[in-house]
Structure 1
């Protein structure tokens, strides 16, 4: 039995219930990030009645949505086929799990939202992929569903799992906000926890296995199982021409991250590989939630979206634990004991920071000069209509690119993330890598 993990999504669900109008909630995300568990927990804790339909576990229940999609018919049909299902107005949560398997159920969300007698939450994996294929079969209920993306445990949630409370984390935030150095012993411990998080990742099954066993070997077995299930998804759901190509793109990630220039290169996937051959495969992986795309911008200027170069991007694994399974067990020991060096170490920590920023809802973008002699790993828009550069240093290297950018009058602040402590020099704020959890 896996340990119960505290997730921020539970409070997000409660906030939705308190503020929603005529809308259902759709939670998207990669497979096995914990969507089903947290929604079931929400239903159990916050409602008198909880009715759940899993379209993969019980495919025959798709027949409920074969006929009329009005709320009365749907609730009547469910009550006939789901034992014990009761729909008490205002006190019932209906959960439609793996909704990508039943496009008609997605279309029915509009009528369930308008009816309003029960709260309705749906979740699904591979939604961007499956609904592109099924678009002609059913309509998407625009305006009647609120979409939320759920990912693996972020670093703060991982610290909760490791026994740190909210007060401890707020104490760290105080050092971030005051720009004061963290006590050496605390800083050392937090860097140790960050390396552990990098090695374990944030997938609930892996985190739970590690918490229960305190064994990296057992955690790695879970990581390998997750990797196998992801590759199985590629084989099962990708169109026939994409299966081999999408798998090849995904399996190239370790080699992509080991390069000095971590721009995704099709030639690393296959000799003489091209965007024409592999571009749609990359899109498939992004849509499946297996990878995160970090888009290149031609100019580090606000608004960054206006300067994206669609032909240049980086790909990062959506979870570093799955990435560990691709490297092998020896990598966990090297990461935890801080034995890595060279471009591989830099690429791995870039992947970690990409995951941490994405967990905060920060769009992933980077900048590289036309000459290729300057680059910033991440650039973000600021609320004051300026750009904030974020440079990642796995050790304590120089920051020529960041220093140059901070000389610009339209850049008011920049962050240097290092294996070190907090400091500030004019517009440059140096932070220990784990404080990326406070950015965004």
Structure 2
């Protein structure tokens, strides 16, 4: 198994909870949930019992259906069914793909109260209404999201641990890496952007050191997601598929705000709102909302109808964008070496959104009109790509608005960031520019190489 940061969160849960809560690992399909929990079970417990509800036998399901009134009898029959003799307080029970059998999820409450064993659930599409509408969600259930591998995890997976360590140290100390190391890290970041963070894609690239194999894996995952949309999307399936397939085109536009009219003439946000919720619950997309008044507590001023829509994994975005047939199997390397004309900015912005999401940030942006400088001229449109909140040294570490600007080329301006700083001077803490060049600091503004996004 690749080293995952969620493993440490599971260790913290085990130590703190001492069996008083269960934990639900939420994530998209093929993001590595089963591998993570099995590895955790093997390393951290004397024994474990694994139930995969996508393939559980009728006899197993009958135990859940007919013997829930007596926990002691239930656990005895379950262990007999699987030929296990679990040691109390030193064993784990795993409910994999629990969304396929909601009764098991509901019963977690009673199993946790019994206290004999620890319990971990995994789920895809698990928070969608149709999967939970007939059950009581257990309050004893904690949740840990599992996202695609972030850039640091990717470096671990590809054996570049030294680079991961040095990037972290450099970011924390605000010290630029040597030019040669910087160039290597930018190449690795571009590589990560194309391979993506889906474990199977990364595994294929590690094994073959070739983009074609991981592209085939990613196309299989995209096909699987499309099947999921058709199978589980219900009345939202058609619109959810339309949104998902249109993301590359929407992001390639100069204004990356999602235009619903391009999907269906006359459509508005309200027409597609439930489809967007479905896709976000399935963890296939990351939505970035307009904040109409940028101050700490962005949700207080959220305009959900004006949004950008990013794919949850940038590697999948690359494969979806170039889904024209077998002749494009080598497009990944062509992109990396600049042999394909493409709006690289859409990939860079998507991967920054992906890294911010993996850090636990909700995604918000800010847009406004600056008055024209000359009479009769049009107002000047300004936009900040992302807003995060961070403690600010000059305010006793109290949280301040941190605007984040994303630059995909080495030649750029910071007009929007300059105007934003003047406009909201008292609210703003550190300003961050993510760019392909070296790290440098100018007052409260820090210019970070794109590969340091995961450490902001």
TM-score normalized by structure 2?
A: 0.90
Match of residue 204 from structure 1: 199
Rounded to whole Å, the distance in 2 between the matches of 1:59 and 1:303 is 48
Cα distance, 1:155 vs. partner?
Answer: 0.5
- Secondary structure of 1:66's counterpart equals helix
Match of residue 355 from structure 2: 356
Preserved CA contact (<8 Å) 1:28 1:147? yes
Structure 2: unaligned runs, 5 residues or longer = 323-328, 370-378, 392-397
2:241 paired with 1:243: no
Preserved CA contact (<8 Å) 1:413 1:427? yes
**4+ residue segments displaced more than 6 Å:** none
Rounded to whole Å, the distance in 2 between the matches of 1:70 and 1:35 is 30
- Secondary structure of 1:40's counterpart equals helix
What is the CA deviation profile of residues 220-241 of structure 1, one whole-angstrom value per residue up to 9, with x for unaligned ones?
11011011001010111110x3
Match of residue 404 from structure 1: 419
Preserved CA contact (<8 Å) 1:23 1:146? yes
Match of residue 16 from structure 1: 13
Rounded to whole Å, the distance in 2 between the matches of 1:19 and 1:338 is 49
- TM alignment of 1:165-180, pairs within 5 A: 165=161, 168-180=163-175
Match of residue 28 from structure 1: 26
Preserved CA contact (<8 Å) 2:156 2:164? no
Match of residue 389 from structure 1: 403
Cα distance, 1:136 vs. partner?
Answer: 4.1
What is the CA deviation profile of residues 310-341 of structure 1, one whole-angstrom value per residue up to 9, with x for unaligned ones?
21111100011211221224541243224566
Q: How many residues align?
A: 429
Match of residue 141 from structure 1: 138
Rounded to whole Å, the distance in 2 between the matches of 1:170 and 1:297 is 35
- Secondary structure of 1:302's counterpart equals coil
- TM alignment of 1:199-238, pairs within 5 A: 199-238=194-233
- Secondary structure of 2:381's counterpart equals coil
- TM alignment of 1:50-129, pairs within 5 A: 50-58=48-56, 60=58, 61-67=60-66, 68-82=68-82, 84-129=83-128
After TM superposition, the structure 1 stretch with the greater mean CA deviation from structure 2, 260-269 or 170-179, is 170-179
What is the CA deviation profile of residues 131-156 of structure 1, one whole-angstrom value per residue up to 9, with x for unaligned ones?
x11444221111x1111100111110
2:406 paired with 1:375: no
After TM superposition, the structure 1 stretch with the greater mean CA deviation from structure 2, 188-197 or 322-331, is 322-331
Rounded to whole Å, the distance in 1 between the matches of 2:156 and 2:74 is 40
What is the CA deviation profile of residues 342-362 of structure 1, one whole-angstrom value per residue up to 9, with x for unaligned ones?
7x2212111000011111111
Cα distance, 1:69 vs. partner?
Answer: 4.9
What is the CA deviation profile of residues 141-192 of structure 1, one whole-angstrom value per residue up to 9, with x for unaligned ones?
11x1111100111110100111122x54232222222322221001000000
Q: Residues 428 and 281 from structure 1, CA distance in 2 versus in 1: closer, same or farther, beyond 3 angstroms?
A: same
Preserved CA contact (<8 Å) 1:70 1:111? no
- TM alignment of 1:290-329, pairs within 5 A: 290-328=284-322, 329=329
Question: Which residue, 418, 424, 430 being the options, matches 2:441?
Answer: 424
Q: Residues 64 and 17 from structure 1, CA distance in 2 versus in 1: closer, same or farther, beyond 3 angstroms?
A: same
